[in-house]
Amino acid sequence: MVQQEKANARLPNGRRNNKAKSGIQNRLWIIGFLFLFGAGAVVLAGWIRKPTSNDTNAVANTFTVRVDDLTITVTESGSVKAQESTDVTCEVEGRGLEIADIIPEGTVITQEDVDNGKIICLLNASELKDTYNRELIDFSSAQASYLEAQEAHLIQKKQNESDIAASQLAVEFGLMDLQNYLGETASRKLIDQMDRDPNSTIDMAGILAFLEDPNGEGGGAKQTLKELNDSIILAEQRLTQAQSELESTMKLFKANYAPQIEVRQKELSVNSYRVQYEQASDALDLFKRYDFPKQTKQLLSDYHEAQRELDRTFARTRSKLAQTQAKLESSKARFDLQQEHVTKLERQIAACTIRAPAPGIAIYGTSADWYRRREDPIEIGDMVRKGQKIFTIPNSDLMGVELRVHEASVNMVDPGQRVEITVEAFPDLVFYGKVISVAPLPDPQHGWLDPGVKVYTTQVSIDGKHDVLKPGMSAKVKIFVEQLDDVKIVPVQVVANRSGKKVSYVVNGDEVEEREVQTGLFNDTYVEVIDGLEAGEKVLLVPPRVVQPGIEEDSPADESPKEEEQPEESEEEQSPPAVNSSIDSA
């Protein structure tokens, strides 16, 4: 074989690959043939096997019931597997990336390699880098828009503060103008009245009466009223004085002490002061009827308009601020999205360089699948996709065995039971451990190779660290179920089923007695006898099919032949051993 592999190494790549594939196919056929041959041999051996004993009588073909120790074990085959392993998968999203470089399978990764960040696989990241450069340009644009939106939002906030302050100042000035004209008390009463009922009529007479009160508060309107009233009083006094002077002058004129011209002058003065009086009275009347209501309403309207403008200012500022806020959030969302894209691409590019995550032996992800390992092994140039397993790095310090227990024996296997393990590579070495777990459900069946056979995956640990153990090695595991001390035992074929009862045939001289027995635990060789037989009694190794007096076996015509049956379940409903189980006696 070594010479053939060396010869293949000297062939060209194409011929060597074809020859290798042909060799693999030939070996697969040989393996399949050997598998079927071995299975047939096992079945044939099961048919022809007859347990023997030192106590067996060669002439009478009997066995002497004895008291002995009985060890109940379940033996199954499996493969060595690390209890802990680290899976290295492709973390790059997309259609897949090409493997640019990869370490050979079986490379030993040390803790120093992990600490130094040893590269175990490189993926081609050229397309990702091109996409990354384009995304950087969009990211810079989004960043500039985001900064601009931040500044615009800040400016709008400051502008809103200025507009609101100006509107509030206008309201304050409007109130001050109204109070300056009517006085604080009258202004407040008027404002309260309008606030209660905006459609009510202003009581100008009441306000004037309040303003004309000498003890009331004063304002511009009260000052005007006072000036008009003073003008009337002054004009009235001057008219009265002029009238007195006219009367005196008339008297002098009648007594020829005053000339006619002086009388005319006095009359002119009276008429002049009368006109002034009337004008002052008209001015007061016009002020009360027109100027005062107009000015009052105008100032009140200006105050209310300032309040409404303040409300509009609040609304405008909220609207403008909301617009800038929306632009800010939109630009921030775009910026965050672009930043996420850039960050994601950075992670993706970094993920193209796969470094050793843990110490152990690097095993390709396809090696766990025999078909994929043969047809499509991982190599440089292959495309890998997100989630695809590239490596499995088992922890060689924590090894175990994965085996499948037949359904006939699975009820006897429990976590914590001790085990003995041997591997085919080192048959002279014995390893020890215990059962870790038993699957609650059977493994799924796979076509014609597994017709109706139910097996349960069972995990077994191996104590200690053993450098000779490698994942995938074939192992044989003996599970110690129970140890029975000083119990009566007989070979399993001694017990037969007759009419739904378990019986054995005891030999007394030349006679055979059919006796019902109660059995307990059993293995492939011996079964525990709980009741029905005593130590030292001899029993037939091969129970007759139909027993007649004188130990005669009737013809098949009298009763249809029945196969020799294994002991049925005991009262404790003990399941029979699995077909591929090996159970030892002490």
At 345-397, the pLDDT tens digits run: 999 999 999 999 988 888 888 775 544 554 567 888 888 888 888 888 888 77
Measure CA 206 to chain center.
76
* Ranges 213-217, 374-378, 385-389, 542-546: which has the least confidence: 374-378
Beta strands in 13-65 (DSSP E): 62-64
DSSP H helical segments within 352-398, as ranges?
370-375
Q: Which residue has the tokens 């109130």?
A: 175
Percent of the chain residues past pLDDT 70, beyond the cut: 80
SS3 194: helix
* Ranges 112-121, 387-396, 538-547: which has the least confidence: 538-547
CA angle 174, 180, 182 (to 5 degrees): 100
pLDDT for the residue numbered 546? 56
Confidence class of residue 209 from pLDDT cuts 50, 70 and 90?
A: confident
286 pLDDT higher than 80:
yes
pLDDT for the residue numbered 32? 54
- Helix, strand and coil in the chain, % to nearest 5: 45, 25, 30
What does the domain layout of the chain look like in residue ranges? Answer: 1-49, 88-124+352-394, 151-343
Q: Which of 118, 120, 122 is nearest to 103 (CA)?
A: 120
The per-residue pLDDT for range 493-528, each reduced to its tens digit, is: 999 998 889 999 999 888 899 999 999 888 878 999
280 burial class (0-12, 13-18, 19+ CB within 10 angstroms)?
buried
Domain over 88-124+352-394 is classified CATH 3.30.70: no
Q: Count Cα atoms within 13 angstroms, Cβ side, for 119.
A: 11
Give pairs for 441-447: CB < 8 Å, separation 24+.
442/407, 443/404
Q: Count Cα atoms within 13 angstroms, Cβ side, for 347.
A: 9
DSSP assignment letter at 492: G
pTM passes above 0.85 = no
DSSP H helical segments within 446-584, as ranges?
none
The per-residue pLDDT for range 93-115, each reduced to its tens digit, is: 888 889 999 999 888 888 899 99
DSSP assignment letter at 425: T
DSSP assignment letter at 288: I
567 pLDDT higher than 60:
no
The per-residue pLDDT for range 232-274, each reduced to its tens digit, is: 999 999 999 999 999 998 988 888 888 889 889 989 999 999 9
Beta-carbon contacts of 252 under 8 Å, excluding residues fewer than 6 positions away, are 258, 262
133 pLDDT higher than 90:
yes
pLDDT for the residue numbered 183? 87
Confidence class of residue 210 from pLDDT cuts 50, 70 and 90?
A: confident
Beta-carbon contacts of 347 under 8 Å, excluding residues fewer than 6 positions away, are 91
574 pLDDT higher than 50:
no
DSSP assignment letter at 556: T
Q: Which of 453, 439, 495 is nearest to 580 (CA)?
A: 453
Evaluate the CA torsion angle 288, 290, 296, 297 in order and state its sign: positive
Percent of the chain residues past pLDDT 90, beyond the cut: 47
pLDDT for the residue numbered 190? 87
Evaluate the CA torsion angle 35, 37, 40, 42 in order and state its sign: negative
The per-residue pLDDT for range 18-61, each reduced to its tens digit, is: 433 444 444 555 555 555 555 444 433 433 333 333 333 433 58
217 pLDDT higher than 90:
no
Q: What is the dihedral of CA 167, 172, 175, 176, to 10 degrees?
A: -130
pLDDT for the residue numbered 365? 82
452 pLDDT higher than 90:
no
* Backbone phi, psi, residue 579, to 5°: -60, -40
Beta-carbon contacts of 540 under 8 Å, excluding residues fewer than 6 positions away, are 60, 61, 62, 63, 494, 504, 505, 507, 512
CA 167/CA 159 separation, integer angstroms: 12
